Amino acid sequence: MAEVALHKVVKKYGEVEAVRAIDLDIPDNEFVVLVGPSGCGKSTTLRMIAGLEEITSGNIMIDGEVVNDLPPKDRDIAMVFQNYALYPHMTAFENMSFGLKLRKLPKEEIRQRVEHAARILDITELLDRRPKALSGGQRQRVAMGRAIVRNPKVFLFDEPLSNLDAKLRVQMRTEIKRVHQKVKTTTVYVTHDQVEAMTLADRVVVMNGGRIEQIGTPQDLYHKPATRFVAGFIGSPAMNFIPCRLEQAGNDLRVRVSDTIALPVPSSLAPRYKGLAGKEMLLGLRPEHITEPRHNGAGEPNQFSVTLDVVEPMGMETMVFFTINDTEFCGRVEPKSAVDAGATIRLQAGMDHMHIIDPASGAVL
C-alpha cells in the first residue's frame, strides 16, 4: 500500500518523445486506469513505474521514495502482463511462489500465501497444473495470483484482458474489481479499452501523444470532457462532432447546424456561450442525446427530420446513422420504434447535454 507520484516524467527513444513531462499523483489504495490509443505512452508510463524502462528525466516516487534508479525487484511492485508471462515449466503453485522463494521466505509462509491468493481467485484446484493445461482465463488468474502473493505496495496491470475473448473479458473485469475490493492496494492499470477504464477505475487518466489529456472520475470524463479528444475517446459509440455556428436570435442563442436546423441553447447554458455568437464551432452531442422525441411537435426547435442511412439494432437499443451537410451523425432510439434504413424519422437533440468545442484548440468550452 503506497502512494505513487510521477513528476515531470519524460521518456525519449532517440529523438522521439514517447512520454512528455507528465505529472500524476496516485493516492494510497486508488485504482487508476491509464487509457488511450496505441502509441499514446500509457504502457511506457507503466513500465517506467515498474522499472522496466529507464526514465529520461523527471522523478517517479513510490511511498515518498524516489525510485528512478531502483531495479524492479527493489520497488516492491507486482505486474500482470498482457500475455500472462507465466513460466511454462512451472506449475501454477511454483509460478505463484517463485518470487517468494527468491526472497527466501519460509516454506510454510509461502504455502499459506499461495493458498490464500488461490482462494481469493478461486484457483485452488489448479495449483498443480502447468500453464499449458490452463485456459486463458485461468492463466490470467494465476498471473494475478503471482502478483497478489507478493503483497506488493503497487499492482501494475498491462492490458491484462486484451488476449481474452469478449465474454471472458467481462468476467475477468468483474474479477479484477472484486480482487481490488478484497486486497486494497494501489493499482495502476493500462488499457486501450475505454469500457474497461470506465468500469474499473476510481480515476481515469486519458493519454494522447505522450501527454495526459485529462484526469478524472469516469463520470467526470463522460459528462465533462476537457478536450475534443477525451470527448471522442470516452463513450461508445463516440460523441458526434458537428460543425456549427452560434447565432444570437433576440435573447436566445442558437446552434446552426444546417440551413434548416438551428438548435436552441438552453437558457442555463446560454450565458456561458454568449460570447461565441457568430463564431464557427463544433457541437458535441452524444448519440444517446439524439433520440426520438417524447412528444412529437413540429414546432419544437430542438427537433428535426432526417432520412436514415444505416440502422443497427443492438437489442436493448437501436443505433441510427444519418447525414446532415456531409457530416455523419449517430443517434439512439428505442428498439420498439423499429425503423429501416431509408425511412424518414423525427429526432430530438438533448441540448442540455451539449458541448461546444473550439475547433482550433480542441478545448471543450
Binding residues for other proteins (CB under 8 A): 50-52, 71-73, 77-79, 81-89, 98-99, 102-103, 130-134, 136, 139, 146, 150, 163
Beta carbon nearer to other proteins, 49 or 320 = 49
Please state the closest distance from residue 73 (CB atom) to other proteins, in A.
Answer: 4
Beta carbon nearer to other proteins, 73 or 178 = 73
Indicate the helix (H) or strand (E) that contains 148.
helix 136-149
CA distance 261 to 274: 19
Beta carbon nearer to other proteins, 94 or 247 = 94
Determine the number of helices (DSSP H) and then strands (DSSP E) in the chain: 9, 20
Residue (of 80, 75, 72) closest to 142 by Cα position: 80
CA distance 253 to 102: 68
Beta carbon nearer to other proteins, 139 or 228 = 139
Please state the closest distance from residue 130 (CB atom) to other proteins, in A.
Answer: 6
86 three-class SS: coil
Please state the closest distance from residue 348 (CB atom) to other proteins, in A.
Answer: 46
Cβ neighbours of residue 80 under 8 Å, at least 6 residues apart? 140, 143, 144, 146, 147, 155, 156, 157, 158, 160
Q: Strand 186-191 vs strand 154-158: parallel, antiparallel, or unpaired?
A: parallel
Please state the closest distance from residue 87 (CB atom) to other proteins, in A.
Answer: 6
Beta carbon nearer to other proteins, 81 or 273 = 81
Please state the closest distance from residue 363 (CB atom) to other proteins, in A.
Answer: 38
